[in-house]
Each structure stands twice: as structure tokens, then as C-alpha cells.
Structure 1
């Protein structure tokens, strides 16, 4: 398959051009190309945007090869770039002639033949620019009207005159509505668009049109027609978060607040003023729903496809545009931005009994008021009672919780050191948990949010008793036999004396952040221990075999640890559900599942 890397290494999409040819054999629309379908559930997906191609279809002066190269690139990289949709921004041709549309038609048919969905809209060069979307028949409408799109799975419909259309495509596991609006929508056209949005009340909307924003004299701003589009359609429809237009050059971008007080990103992209009519440049909007960002890049597959040794100086300069209006990132908290019309429902609380899986030896929840006892929902009787380290108060109940936590609550531990402050919880002296050596493996899980401050060597979960008390002489025998805690660099540390070893075995996480909830888990399968943060294994997990946990038969501590049997500080932060299981669990069995 042709990829960006191979394109850079050798010319695969077209011949180097020293004069303007007709369609070359290497760029023929009839050439077979391959391309796997995109993964519409991947949180990383791409919207491809093609601006004004009019000079490529200008009577007998044009050349289809650059746009053919772009179409082939989009097809061949549908999977590698996860391209779920392509939008053309109008001015397909220069003179609105039927003969020009006859040249453009087979190029777009490349996408049709590979069932790659796309939209097209009319620019001022595609129709009689003095008319609006009620203009009636035209060569544009006969080529790119509703009949062309009816077989596309994304096509939702067109306005009565056929010049405005909408598509619903899927990317990142959710649906997106794309409006393709005419050069000059009529009042009826705007009413149609508002109704389309109203009929899809939970979908985020991308508006494509030809004339909206320009950047001729510096910072981008709304054009005169753009002011009408803003007033008639964008400002009052919070679902529209991104607009894309061509027509003007140079490229630019603008962010405006709508009536709901939310940002709308308005981008102009057009390269017809550049060498070879823009060389079929395409802008790739890489959405990343996990990272809450849209990364934008602009490339010319046609130039990339030229043999390196045959590229002219002008062609070399058009391979990729890297200035800040053509290569940039747009940070968007998608969940927050769309919450006004498509709120993500909070995961409901789950009854404790459903989480007591076979092998559960302790399950503590903090979704009620702070009290003198925390119940062990495992039924094993490993209840917790509070211990105060200072007079300034022990843990207090909080409604804060990790979004995937079964119990909707936590306790805020207000600990510190020098002197020890706050409080912690402990099992009773006769709790069954105290004696367990976990020789068949174990899983320990906790939901945690660290408070600001110094967390150096504070404990989250520990076991009273030192290595020396358990007969261990390796490492530092004054360390606790079991400790899940944190370093000064906010790295989680699982430091234990295994039952079958004479030394401390330690797992380390990467650096974590204060004031953010995370799920922490340690799993031992009877041979090795693996630490997970948010269900992802960390790097620094020891490969050396270890089994079980040493015990002196004494109590467990939650919200503290000890050194040489002295509790030197309390935990500072929030603790949610905590579960201990006497066997290894897979991530799909964690409390977050």
C-alpha cells in the first residue's frame, strides 16, 4: 500500500511534469488503487478537505493529474490515516462549463468506485454566481447533485433545489453531521439547514461552504456573506463547532464565541494561488478524541509522488505547508464542548454485591458519610476503623469519584508529615485478611486522586510489620512487609517482601499528576507482579519471579504506611473504592470494566 513514507521515498502517483499534459497514464482515473476501509470506532480519525480545484479544470488549460493523485492518496491511505470522510469546498471548475464538469466527473468517480464517502458544494465558479440555491438546473447540479450521492451510506438528503446537502458519517465511535452549503443559500436554504440540525439534535455539526472567512488584510475575519451565515445559522446553533471554507486566499483561521458562549473554529483553506493551481493540495483534519485535539496538516500527494530527482524547485516547496495557518492543532475538550446538546451520561453507581467476584477478600467503599467503621462488602469481616494522627481531623466524606468507579463517593484524607497529620484506617487485630499470604496470586485495586503537596513516601495501603519482623534480612529490613505508596516524584511504588524471597521487590509507575483521578492496580499471577495505571501496564515491572506476600499476622493500614513500625505521615488526597482479590484478575475484570 502507498503510504506517506513510500511517497516521500519514490514517486508512485504520477509523473514529474515539465509541461502541462493531459491525463497521463500514471494519473489516469481508470487506474486501479487499493484501500482498506477505515476503522470508524478508532478515537483517531481523519476528515480530508479539498479546496478550490478550479484551475485544474479550466477548459483546455487544466490538468487533472494533481487531483487524481490526491484521490488515490485518500483511497490508499483510508486505513493508515483512518480517513472517514472527504469534503470539497467548492469551485470544482473554473467556468461552470459542462465540458469542465465532464473532466472532473471521472476523477471524483475514483472515490465512488471505492465507496469512499464525500461531499461537494457549489462555489461561485461552478454556477452563475449572481444566483442563489433556487437557480434550477446547471451542469454542476447534473454532475454533483443528489443523484450522485444517493447511494452513499453517509448521504442524508438535499434541499429542494438540490444545491445544499448533508451527510452523517461515523468517526471515533460517534456520528457527525456535515452540512455542505451552496455559494449563496436562500432564506429557504438556511431554513432547510436549521431543520436538518434540529432533526439531529445530538450530533456535532461541521459546516462546509465556499464563502465565510477571509484573511486578506491580516487576521481572519468574517466576510460580508460570512456575517449572514453567522447570524442565520452558526451563532444560534451550538452544535456547529467547526466551519470550513475556500474562495479566498491566503489561508487563515478565526475563533468566535457563539450565543451559547462556546468557541466555534472557522477555517479558510485555499491554494489556487500557489504553484500549479495548488497542485491538488489536501488538508487533513486528524481528530483525536482521546487527546482532545484536532491536528491539522496540509500536503500535496501529487508533488510527493514525483520522483525525487525530477522535482523542480517550485515543486519541492509545495510538498507540505508548515506555517501556522496550514499546520496546527486545535485543542477541543469534545465531551465538554458537546455537553450542551449531547451530554455523556454519567456511569451509574453499581451495587457492591455485583463487584464481589470469586476470591474477593476485602472490598471497601467510601460512598457514604464518614463514620467510625468502613464495612467490608466481601462478607469476610475485614472492616476498617479510623485512627487519628493529629487533632486537626481525620478523613471526611466527599462526593468526588473516578467516572468509572462503582461507588459514587470517596473520603478525603488530609494527611501530612513533620509532624504526622490527618488520619488513616486499619483492620481489626483479628481480621482474617491479616493472616493471608496470597500464595495463589492477588489483585489489589484502588481509585485515587492525589492532593497538591509533598507526597514523598506516603502510603496508600500497607501492612503492619517489617521485613525483620517477618524474618527477612535483604534490602532494608525496617521497611513494611507490604507497601503501596508514592515517591516524591508522584510515582506509584509497590514495594513488598514476597513470601518466597528474602528481599524487597518493587514495581514503579510513571509520574502521576495531582488533582486527577486514576485507577491503580497490582496483579500477581503467582510468578510475577504487574502494576497498572488506568488498566495500562507500566514499564518498570520486575520480571524476576516472586510469589505471595509476607505477613506477621498484624493489621492493614489504608491511608498510611510505616517505617520501623512508626506511622510517620498520613495520606493526602481522595481514596475511592478499594478491592483485594486472592487471585490474578485481567484488566477486563477490574472495577473499571
Structure 2
């Protein structure tokens, strides 16, 4: 309908929505690169030449869904101007590869009157996307007449009916009346469903939509329609009457639908509702036709990041981005990008947990040790029955003297012992593990300060690992998890180390000659610290990670190529890796230890948390070769 909720309910006093000045909008006004990825513009009055569309990556964990709300004022009889929409489409084509745009969906009210001329011009404009970016369009009340999707033939249906989408690889089908359609798309390594529903779905249409969901029971679904929700200036969306019908008749009972998008009303807004399965459904209202130039074909990008468990949302007008920033009019500059809380925001979504009810991800099976004994493996320890015979129930103590076998066959077995007067609880067995860990088991260390307590696993005095110097490079990997809540004093607790004093190895340039020659520790800020005294140099190059999360497993890899050392966390190279030369490890023939770090050849506290599979290889490995492979 293209109206505010308040116009339907009666006049009221409203403040004008103002675009915030600052952030990336200010950068856009200055011609700098914005969050949209758009660089400095072409000369005034000209459109920037689009780059090649490139290839969309359906396996990347990051992709974007483009959402285009009401464009009716751009197709309004003899006042029509399709140029803003053409600029938006050219942007999507040009940015498809760089932004990894999977799909675009229009939310209805393509035109103002739904006449043959308006529809024909709009259909021609949408041709900019054909064969380049897949998309869906649905009817708004300005595009059609009649009460619901049983209205029969129309100019809209002839231009935007099923025939238009038939050649798109995403098109899955349409309802018999032709006004409702669905698409399936491959993104982030899985299939997704987009439902494009008429502005007034009949009972037949609802039954059709339910069949589509039933036929695709494991696909997360985005529902799009024209009339779903309205909002006031507070940005809090409320279901409209039609939205309530969709909620009760389709959305709330289908856990697949996690995101529902509508236009029709303004100002924009959003809310989160709880469905019958007890899960969140994000309901968003997007419409900018009340803004300058009928919204100027503003696009909203939903940037999905399954690696972070987040969706980053931004709203901007590609048409204004093509203007020379120095020559933009005040209204163009104001509307380049919208930064209000209903226009630019982030969603935190644990996708695996949210989709578990209809599309559970099967847990990987444990992998035998033989699968990860790569060439050059010096030692490999795991805490299931293969590595720790007799591993028992959750929380069962691992007694002093218990042996953890070195499954590499090189004789670097570990023996458990407690520190100081620590009791049974200082070292216990656990079935907890990183999802990518070969063994589905770990050890829980309960170390701490004041009084010092903890437990260790250490090699025997004559183990080969004790004196191995790794001058050709090395890879040290482990899995660890910090408890949540992270309580007590645990500053500078050790994860793994070699015993001995760096001073006894002739090293004088480090922080102290009393620290060991190689150790992985956790700082008071929960940063990982890997400090190594090389076999060759008198130096102590040290890598520092970011702050580790609590309550979540982390994979850590320390890779040395014979020249320098690089730390990886969850397969990602960290920033604070020293460029200082580092060849080998200045081992002293003393034991290798998991669970603590000495100072002045004395242990204080032990590690606090879980440690899983640990492997040492005498050469540098790539992330694809880690215990849990990364792209």
C-alpha cells in the first residue's frame, strides 16, 4: 500500500527520520571505501563502470542476501525514473563476487499503479539482473488488484510470473495461481530456502507454502512478503493483521523459518518473536519510499557469517554512491547510507543451534590415530581409550602414575602426577572435545593460584622428545577450552612446555634466564603467549594471540619453517607473530610437559581447563594438514 501504519490508523505527530552523520556514512560522503565495499565515485553525474560480476562462492562461510523494498515511486506513470534501480542492479552484479551476494529478493510494490506501461518498464529494468544475480519478486497491493492470490491474470503476473524465473538455477517452483514462488540457493556450504509470498496469501497459498516447507524439511527458510509488520519511530516492529495471519498460519509452526521480511509500511523496524519450538524468529520491516527520491532504490544487505555466528545488516543507495562526493546535493549526501538502529545493525545467531531442530549437523565420528600420523610426527597424545587405556566416566580421576601413550610409536609416553598437595579433582577424564578433534575425549585440569595446585603430564627422563631440537622446523598443535565462568586466579598458567632454564642453554637476551626454553602460556588477559628460545639464536621471539573465549574449544597450532614461528588459532594466522629469526628449540634433554610451565625449575599453579589431542611434527604443516583441517 505504501503508507505508514499511522496513516491507516489516523493522523498523528511524527518526527522526521534523520540519517546519522558519521561512521561509514561519513566515509562514503568523503569518497572513502564504505562498509558496502564501494570505493571513491566516478565524476559527477556519471555512473561508475561496473566490474566483472565474477563467480559466487557457494561454499564460503560468508555470503550476502540483498533485500530491495518498495520501488513504486520509481515506476509512477509519466513520473517514472528507473535509473536509481538500474544503479542498484549494476552494483549487485559488479559486487557479486567480492561481497559474495547469493540472491536478491524484492518485497513488493514494484510499481505505483500496476499499469501495463509501469510493469513493462519495471520488467525491462529487472532485466539488468537476468542471468547475473538470481532474484525473486512478489506482488504488493500497488501492483495488483483483487483480494488475494486467486485474483487471476494481471499485467504483473505476465511480467513477474513463473516464466520469468524458470531459467534461474535457484527457482524451485510457483503456486498454481503463479503469485507465490520459492527458490533454493546454495550458500555457506548448505542449501537455503526463500519463500516469496503474495501480499495477500489465500488459504490455498498457505497450503502450497506448507507443502514447500514439507518438501524441504532440512532447509533454513527466509520468508518474504509485502505486508508483514509495522513500526513507529521507536523501531520496534509489530505484526500487522496480515502478518499475524502469516505468523499463526505458517511461521510459528515451522521452525525452519528463522527470518521474515516485509515492506509496505514505514518507518523501518525489527523485532524478535518466539516460535512454537521455542526458537527466535527475526521479523524485519524494510521500506524507504518515504525518503528522498522515493528511496532511490536503496538496498539492504544481510551479510551472513557462519564462522562468526553473525549477520551484519547495512542499508545504502548505490545510485548516490556513484555521485562525486564533492558534488552530492545535501539530500543525496544524507541518504547515501542509513545508520539508524533499524537500518544498520547486527544479529548474533548460533546457526548450528538454531537449525538443530530441523537440520542437525551430525557429529563427526572419532578418527583413528593412523589418520593423523602424518610424515614427521614425533609425538601424538590423545585421551580416549586408544591413548589412555581404561579411560572411564566423566569426572573420573586420572591417578598419579597413569600413562598416556605416545601413539606415534616413538616412545614419548606421558605420565600423570599432581602438583603440591592437589587432590583427585586436579586431573580428571572428560568426554568433552572440540568438534574437529580426532579423539572424542580430553583431560580436565583444575589448576590455580593461592595455594598453588594442578597436575601435569610429563615425558620420562630418557624420552627422545626431551632433546629434539627441530632445526628443520616444527608444528605443535593442541586443543584447549577455558571454563565458563572463568573463576579464580590463573595468570600465566602453562599449557605445555619443556622443563629447564633458558640460562642453562646459554640464552641471555630474554625476560629472565629462569624461564624455560619453550612454553605456551595464558596471560592474565587470556592471551596465548608462545615464547621460544631458538637452538641457534640468542633470542626469545614471542607470539601473542587475541583473548581466548571462555566456554568454547580452541585449536592452537604453532608452526615454524626453520626461520620463523607463526601461531594459528582456529586455523587463522594471528597478528602478533614476530619476524625475528627463530631456528629450532633450545631443548636441554629435560622432560616435555602438558599442564604447566616452570619458573626457576619450579612449578607453581597448573593449567585450568580442558586439554585435548596434542601432536608434535618435525616440519611445518599447512592449515589443511592440521588435526582439524582448515580451508
TM-score, scaled to structure 1: 0.91
- Identify the range of structure 1 (206-215 vs 577-586) with the bigger mean alpha-carbon deviation: 577-586
Aligned to 2:544: 508
Aligned to 2:476: 444
Aligned to 1:17: none
Aligned to 1:4: 38
Distance of 2:550 and 2:240 partners within structure 1:
45
Aligned to 1:290: 307
* Equivalent pair of 2:252/2:276 in contact (CA under 8 Å): yes
Q: Residue 359 of structure 1: which of 355, 358, 376 is its match?
A: 376
Q: Provide, for residues 376-424 of structure 1, a one-character-per-residue CA deviation record: whole Å limited to 9, x for no partner.
A: 1111222111222224233100111111111111111111234331221
Q: Provide, for residues 462-498 of structure 1, a one-character-per-residue CA deviation record: whole Å limited to 9, x for no partner.
A: 2222234344455433222332222223222223332
Structure 2 counterparts to residues 351-500 of structure 1, below 5 A: 351-367=368-384, 368-369=391-392, 370-371=398-399, 372-389=402-419, 390-393=421-424, 394-451=426-483, 452=486, 453-475=488-510, 476-500=512-536
1:8: how far off? 7.7
Which ranges of structure 2 fall in alignment gaps of 5 or more residues? 1-32, 385-390, 393-397
In structure 2, relative to structure 1, the CA distance for the partners of 1:587 and 1:3 (3 Å cut) is: closer
* Equivalent pair of 2:430/2:441 in contact (CA under 8 Å): yes
Q: Provide, for residues 143-189 of structure 1, a one-character-per-residue CA deviation record: whole Å limited to 9, x for no partner.
A: 11111111111111000011110111222222211111112111111
Which ranges of structure 1 fall in alignment gaps of 5 or more residues? 15-30
Distance of 1:481 and 1:308 partners within structure 2:
57
Q: Residue 209 of structure 1: which of 221, 225, 233 is its match?
A: 225
Aligned to 2:627: 591
In structure 2, relative to structure 1, the CA distance for the partners of 1:53 and 1:462 (3 Å cut) is: closer
* Equivalent pair of 2:473/2:620 in contact (CA under 8 Å): yes
* Equivalent pair of 1:33/1:72 in contact (CA under 8 Å): no
Aligned to 2:265: 248
1:3: how far off? 6.3
Aligned to 1:54: 72
* Equivalent pair of 2:44/2:327 in contact (CA under 8 Å): no
In structure 2, relative to structure 1, the CA distance for the partners of 1:463 and 1:189 (3 Å cut) is: same
Q: Provide, for residues 342-370 of structure 1, a one-character-per-residue CA deviation record: whole Å limited to 9, x for no partner.
A: 11222221111222222222211112333
* Equivalent pair of 1:283/1:296 in contact (CA under 8 Å): yes
Distance of 2:588 and 2:168 partners within structure 1:
69
Distance of 1:137 and 1:442 partners within structure 2:
70
Q: Provide, for residues 103-160 of structure 1, a one-character-per-residue CA deviation record: whole Å limited to 9, x for no partner.
A: 2121011111x432111111111111x3321221111111111111111111110000
Aligned to 2:86: 68
SS of equivalent to 1:480: coil
Q: Provide, for residues 67-116 of structure 1, a one-character-per-residue CA deviation record: whole Å limited to 9, x for no partner.
A: 2222222222222332221111111112221122122121011111x432
Root-mean-square deviation (CA, aligned residues, Å) is: 2.4
Structure 2 counterparts to residues 239-278 of structure 1, below 5 A: 239-278=256-295
Aligned to 1:22: none
In structure 2, relative to structure 1, the CA distance for the partners of 1:462 and 1:216 (3 Å cut) is: closer
Distance of 2:88 and 2:581 partners within structure 1:
54
2:563 is equivalent to residue 540 of structure 1: no
SS of equivalent to 1:7: coil
In structure 2, relative to structure 1, the CA distance for the partners of 1:559 and 1:90 (3 Å cut) is: same
Q: Provide, for residues 526-579 of structure 1, a one-character-per-residue CA deviation record: whole Å limited to 9, x for no partner.
A: 222222222223333333333332333232222122222222222211111111
Aligned to 1:170: 186
1:206: how far off? 0.7
Distance of 1:572 and 1:53 partners within structure 2:
58
TM-score, scaled to structure 2: 0.86
Distance of 1:576 and 1:38 partners within structure 2:
37
2:102 is equivalent to residue 84 of structure 1: yes
* Equivalent pair of 1:242/1:265 in contact (CA under 8 Å): yes
Aligned to 1:341: 358
Distance of 2:412 and 2:207 partners within structure 1:
65
* Equivalent pair of 2:449/2:490 in contact (CA under 8 Å): no
Distance of 1:435 and 1:33 partners within structure 2:
57
Q: Residue 554 of structure 2: which of 504, 518, 525 is its match?
A: 518
Aligned to 2:6: none
- Identify the range of structure 1 (142-151 vs 70-79) with the bigger mean alpha-carbon deviation: 70-79
Distance of 1:489 and 1:549 partners within structure 2:
26
